[in-house]
Amino acid sequence: MHPSSFRRFRPKTFAATVILSTALAGSGALIAGETPWSRIQTVSVGAPAAIGGPSNGCIVGADALPAVGPGFVSIRRHRNRFYGHPRTVDMVRQLGEAMDRRNGKLIMVGDLAQPRGGRMSSSHVSHQNGLDVDIWMTLADSAATAVRSTPEERDPPSMLGANKLRLNDRWGPDQLFLIKAAAEHPAVDRILVNPGIKRALCQSENNAAWLRKLRPWWGHDAHMHVRLKCPKDSPSCRQQSPVPMSSGCGSELAWWFGLEANSPKKTSAKPAPRPDPPAACRNLIAQF
Ligand SMILES: [Zn+2]
């Protein structure tokens, strides 16, 4: 487990408690934090299909994102979390190609899913069914620089200033281009970003239709979490409830800056029990 990962993705209070408890709930031959899913080194061969939901699912027929390609570089490969549904991998490639055409820089791609998806030993509750990918908002000049500048213990920098209320000067037209391209991609269902980023874009982008796909969430001030819709080839994929049609720039966004969202929350002493994985997912790890 990497403490820095907890800091990075810490969704505060209750969710953090759940992550911590699940991460420590190893048993049998597993070391603390490990899950059977994190030991699997091979994809499950078969027609691609995302199964279950982002926080309780798995993936058959995953593609591996290459270490580097036009306009993108995949970082922290030692985590072995660079697998996803082929649509997810295609989407990343297309964003990379768009950035390459724009300025020759590279987007830095973080975690997708494990070879067969499933629960991870650290950092995320989601990223389980091959449809989630983290993309850092900092761009790289070269693959070598990207890998060198992002050791496990040092994340790329935040895009927000003090108190996470305003964009800082690391944010610029390239970041706007990247998040807009992701939001406008037809396969993308939603993008989790810090409320400070969403608010700034609500102000500068004047109710643009793509803003609705930006969903405010804790953290996510240095990277965006892009989630795809359930693909047609995946009948067992559990689609989240749809993103509202409005821009989400009004009262919903204001809540994040109010007292309720920012006061300390009570944490549950007992985390909610982890749901059983779908049966089709249990089959994928049966022999491990
Ligand atoms: Zn993520």
43-86 confidence digits (pLDDT tens): 999 999 999 999 999 999 999 999 999 999 999 999 999 999 99
Length of the chain: 288
Mean of the per-residue pLDDT values of the chain: 88
Domain count, the chain: 1
Task: Report whether 135 contacts 222 (CB < 8 A).
Answer: no
CA of 156 to the centre of ligand 1 (A): 14
Across the strands, what pairs with 227?
Answer: 132, 190
> Taking the C-alpha atoms of 200, 186, 86 and 110 in order, what is their torsion angle to the nearest 10 degrees?
0
CA of 191 to the centre of ligand 1 (A): 9
CA of 9 to the centre of ligand 1 (A): 8
Question: Could you tell me what percent of the chain has a pLDDT over 70?
Answer: 87
CA of 132 to the centre of ligand 1 (A): 6
CA of 133 to the centre of ligand 1 (A): 6
Task: Report whether 277 contacts 56 (CB < 8 A).
Answer: yes
Would you state the pLDDT for residue 31? 56
Q: Kindly list the protein residues that place their beta carbon closer than 5 angstroms to ligand 1, a single-atom ion.
A: 134, 225
- Residue 224's identity, in one-letter code, is M
Question: What is the arithmetic mean of pLDDT over 135-142?
Answer: 98
Residue-number span of the structural domain to which 179 is assigned: 3-284
- Tokens representing 168 are 């800082």
For 86-103, the pLDDT digits (tens) are: 999 999 999 999 999 999
Would you state the pLDDT for residue 26? 29
Contacts 24+ apart (CB under 8 A), 98-101: 98/71, 98/177, 98/181, 99/71, 99/72, 99/139, 99/174, 99/177, 99/178, 99/181, 100/70, 100/71, 101/71
CA of 269 to the centre of ligand 1 (A): 25
Would you state the pLDDT for residue 23? 32
CA of 112 to the centre of ligand 1 (A): 8
CB atoms within 10 A of CB 102: 15
Tokens 């091979």 found at: 42
Query: pLDDT-derived band of residue 30, with 50, 70 and 90 as boundaries?
Result: low
Question: What is the arithmetic mean of pLDDT over 193-205?
Answer: 97
* CATH code, domain carrying 236: 3.30.1380.10
Query: pLDDT-derived band of residue 24, with 50, 70 and 90 as boundaries?
Result: very low
